[in-house]
Amino acid sequence: MNIIVCIKQVPETTEVRINPETNTLIREGVKSIINPFDLYALEEGVRLKEKFGGKVTVVTMGPPQAESSLREAVSLGADEGVLVSDRAFAGSDTWATSYTLSCAIRKIGQESGGFDVILCGKQASDGDTAQVGPGISTFLKIPQVTYVKKIEEIKEKSARVERMTEEGYDIIQVPLPVLFTVVKEINEPRLPSLKGMMRAKSAKLITWSGKDIQADPNGIGLNGSPTKVVKIFTPPPRTGGQMLRGETPDIVGKLVSELRSEVH
């Protein structure tokens, strides 16, 4: 089984600040990690490989330093890593990101006899859009199941999975190749193994440019992005209100009368 996992490198905390003069994010000094949801996607990919054989290729689109996330993914069980990196990708919105990743995945598929399952995280912690996964499957013209919380079974090129909904979950049968986006409930990611860390150090990673993946120059980066950010601002931070003090009956009485108009 050929499995592809899309991982994104994101800042460790969401406590980012903006430079008031340039209106851009201050990224210096913030450690980078693999997007938390993508670790679940990776773990699920590695488990599929352990069950069905094959290999796991991780792919990330980002600046050269995103390579460290690929190495980390190798230490967690991925076999190969592809960094898709090009100055021309700068300013990509979800349309351009999905397009670029789909070109890269097509190339991975061509070089390794196709692919069966593409795994993405539910959403990235910096952008929170949840649009890139479905975008990729649309460009590749393959089916998708989003918010997957369990892969029940895969046989004869068809998978049965559970998709989380607001009320519970749906059970869906879908033919391969397919793209899944996964939620945290799907598994518990393992920690890197010693062997994995050794492998990660020496792993040979591939880097592709826009040209390498034959991306249409009009479809990438700022040019290829239908949406444009016109303003970025920090909302006034939420500040604490009042502490209610006293004996329990007083506190409770006070709180109930404060909330009275909001409850029916």
Ligand X SMILES: Nc1ncnc2c1ncn2[C@@H]1O[C@H](COP(=O)(O)O)[C@@H](O)[C@H]1O
Q: Amino acid identity of 201?
A: K
- 3-state DSSP assignment of residue 44: helix
d(Cα 24, Cα 229) in Å, to the nearest integer? 11
Q: Which does 50 bind (CB under 5 to 8 A by kind): ligand X, another protein, none?
A: none
d(Cα 117, Cα 129) in Å, to the nearest integer? 21
Per CB under 6 A, 138 contacts ligand X: no
Footprint (CB under 8 A) of another protein, residues 181-200: 183-185
60 to each of 8, 78, 152, how far by Cα in Å? Answer: 6, 13, 27
Task: Name which of 131 and 254 has its Cβ closer to ligand X.
Answer: 131
Per CB under 6 A, 7 contacts ligand X: yes
Footprint (CB under 6 A) of ligand X, residues 31-50: 35, 37-38, 41
Per CB under 6 A, 121 contacts ligand X: yes
Stretch that binds another protein, among 57-65, 83-91, 138-146, 205-213 (CB under 8 A): 138-146
Per CB under 6 A, 6 contacts ligand X: yes
Angle at CA of residue 44, ends 107 and 92, nearest 5° = 45
Question: Are 64 and 104 within 8 A, CB to CB?
Answer: no
Minimum distance, C-beta of residue 64 to another protein, in the bound complex (Å): 23
d(Cα 66, Cα 84) in Å, to the nearest integer? 9
Per CB under 6 A, 137 contacts ligand X: no
**DSSP-assigned letters across all residues of 111-166:** HTT--SEEEEES--TTT----HHHHHHHHHT--EEEEEEEEEEEETTEEEEEEE-S
Per CB under 6 A, 219 contacts ligand X: no
Task: Name which of 78 and 186 has its Cβ closer to another protein.
Answer: 186
DSSP letter for 27, please. Answer: -
DSSP letter for 234, please. Answer: P
Angle at CA of residue 89, ends 83 and 91, nearest 5° = 130
Footprint (CB under 6 A) of ligand X, residues 75-114: 94, 97, 101
Q: Which of 63, 91, 160, 190 binds another protein (CB under 8 A)?
A: 160
Q: Which of 8, 107, 149, 163 binds ligand X (CB under 6 A)?
A: 8
Stretch that binds ligand X, among 126-134, 137-145, 232-240, 255-263 (CB under 6 A): 126-134
Q: Which does 6 bind (CB under 5 to 8 A by kind): ligand X, another protein, none?
A: ligand X
d(Cα 148, Cα 77) in Å, to the nearest integer? 21
Task: Name which of 2 and 35 has its Cβ closer to ligand X.
Answer: 35
> Which residues bind to ligand X, rule: CB under 6 A?
6-8, 35, 37-38, 41, 60-62, 94, 97, 101, 120-121, 123-124, 127-133
